[in-house]
């Protein structure tokens, strides 16, 4: 599933490392990124595999995103 930011201010205030995440994944503001769930966390993925072990969102942080695909 692909997700993008629906609440930028909330995302910036509540998501740990939001500035860095936006720097490396600017498509979060436009077309969205693929997310996969692993052990209760939602990892940014490419071709079904996590791109990093530190690029993930908790269920709470996911509330600032919306599904686009």
Mean pLDDT of 39-56: 95
Q: Is the dihedral of CA 18, 51, 64, 39 positive or negative?
A: negative
SS3 43: strand
- Tell me the DSSP string of 7-34: -HHHHHHHSTTHHHHHHH-GGGGTT-EE
pLDDT range class, residue 58, cuts 50, 70, 90: very high
pLDDT of residue 21: 96
Distances (CA, A) of 49 to 1, 9, 37, 38: 12, 28, 10, 10
Question: How high is the pLDDT of residue 8?
Answer: 96
Is the pLDDT at 42 greater than 90, yes or no?
yes
pLDDT of 69 over the 80 cut: no
Give the domain extent around 18. 2-67
Say how many domains are in the chain.
1
Rounded Cα gap, residues 29 and 48, in angstroms = 21
Res 13 pLDDT > 80: yes
Mean pLDDT value across the chain: 96
């Amino acid at each position: 599933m692909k997700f993008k930011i629906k609440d930028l201010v909330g995302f910036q205030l509540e998501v740990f490392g939001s500035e860095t995440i936006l720097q490396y994944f600017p498509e979060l503001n436009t077309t969205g990124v693929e997310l996969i769930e692993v052990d209760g966390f939602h990892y940014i993925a490419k071709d079904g595999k996590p791109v990093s072990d530190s690029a993930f969102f908790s269920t709470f942080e996911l509330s600032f995103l919306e599904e686009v695909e």
